Amino acid sequence: MSEHMSDREALLELLRENVREQRRARRWRLITRGVFLAVVVLIAISIGRFEFAAEEEVGPHTAEVRIDGPIMADSAASAEQVIRGLERAFEADDVAGVVLRINSPGGSAVHARQINEALRNLRDDHEDIPVHAVIEDVGASGAYYVAAAADQIHVNESSIVGSIGVIMGSFGIEEAMERLGIERRLYTAGADKAFLDPFGPENPEHVEHLQTMLDDIHEQFIDAVRSGRGERIEEAGMDEDELFSGLVWTGRQSLETGLTDEIGSVRSVARDVIGEEEIVDYTARRDLLSQLAERFGTALGVGAYETLQRLEMQPR
């Protein structure tokens, strides 16, 4: 009996030691994460100071603002981010011209319109600073909406340009739900609150109303293009029904439609058109320290919470 108890105590002690080792490992993981966060923050501060110092020493130059990826809230190409970059570029000392480097399939009509209007206002306030859009891989839909506000649009022969249209997608699965025996239960206050509910049958009146909304946004898009490109489109003699149908063209084809002006790159535009080969990037980026604090703070918080939860469930 005593030998059996001795084996049991040895086993319990082994289990306790294993628990203690796990606790030590978790503590070290939390400490390591904290140290890593501190190091990254210090590096970010150093980089920020270096970039600020570099901007102070810049002489005559071409300012660049990038629009990369989808134009929408919480993206690198949101209206807030792009407009911040444009404002910095126009207000910088010794700036000879501004280049929008565009590589985007479009996105939010609201954000694209906000950037377009902000760019027009900045051009009015700084009439001596030319603005050129350079479309690289793609400048379509909302991205072209933005580009239309520039003095000139430059492309590569193989760029994808256009898509002057508006789209909204949905789905309908009511038949699949019926086959599976799934009953939709939806409670609303307001006759049209369940507007375009994908789980129910399509309502023709709702579809008609949606189409009027899309047509209205489309007209706003067309008006912005006509305002920025009207004379050049008329000179090209392009049929507007086709031009504004949502089709896309290659960069070389877009020259013939009046949608763009010349073949060129950011560097060639800075050198040959603006006349200042040195390029300074004024693209606004999300506060790096805030991103890091949020990301690693969340990771540390989750890690600590999980550790406490596990410890509470383990024998001491």
Please give the pLDDT value at position 49. 39
pLDDT confidence of residue 262: 97
**Mean pLDDT to the nearest integer, 53-82:** 87
pLDDT at residue number 213: 96
Model confidence at 192, pLDDT cuts 50, 70, 90, reads: confident
Buried b (16+ CB within 10 A) or exposed e, 110-134: ebbbbbbebbbebbeeeeebbbbbb
Q: Model confidence over 270-315: pLDDT tens digits?
A: 999 999 999 999 999 865 554 554 455 444 444 544 443 444 434 3
Q: For 5-31, what is the mean pLDDT?
A: 72
The pLDDT value recorded for residue 310 is: 44
Distance separating alpha carbons of residues 254 and 231, to the nearest angstrom: 15
**Residue 63 — left, alpha, or beta (φ > 0 → left; ψ -120 to 50 → alpha)?**
beta
In 3D space, the residue among 149, 195, 144, 145 whose CA is nearest the CA of residue 168 turns out to be 195
Average pLDDT of span 48-54 = 39
41/215: higher pLDDT: 215
**Global pTM?**
0.73
Q: Are 71 and 146 in contact (CB under 8 A)?
A: yes
Mean pLDDT in residue range 40-45: 55
Higher-pLDDT residue of 142 and 45 is 142
pLDDT band for 29, please (50, 70, 90 cuts).
Answer: confident
Per-chain mean pLDDT for the chain? 84
Q: What is the pLDDT of residue 50?
A: 37
Q: Which two tokens stand for residue 284?
A: 């606004």
pLDDT of 249 higher than 90: yes
**280, β-bridge pairs:** 63
3-state SS string over the chain? CHHHHHHHHHHHHHHHHHHHHHHHHHHHHHHHHHHHHHHHHHHHHHHHHHHHHHHHCCCCEEEEEEEECCECCCCCCCHHHHHHHHHHHHHCCCEEEEEEEEEECCECHHHHHHHHHHHHHHHHHCCCCCEEEEEEEEEECHHHHHHCCCCEEEECCCCEEECCCCCCCCCCCHHHHHHHCCCCCCCCCCCCCCCCCCCCCCCHHHHHHHHHHHHHHHHHHHHHHHHHHHHHHHHHCCCHHHHCCCCEEEHHHHHHHCCCCEECCHHHHHHHHHCCCCEEECCCCCCHHHHHHHHHHHHHHHHHHHHHHHHHHCCC
Contact 203, 170 (CB under 8 A): no
Judge whether 279 and 64 are in contact, CB under 8 Å. yes
Q: What is the pLDDT of residue 183?
A: 84
pLDDT digits (tens, 9 = 90+) for 75-95: 999 999 999 999 999 999 999
Give the confidence band of 110 by pLDDT, cuts at 50, 70, 90: very high
pLDDT for the residue numbered 1: 52
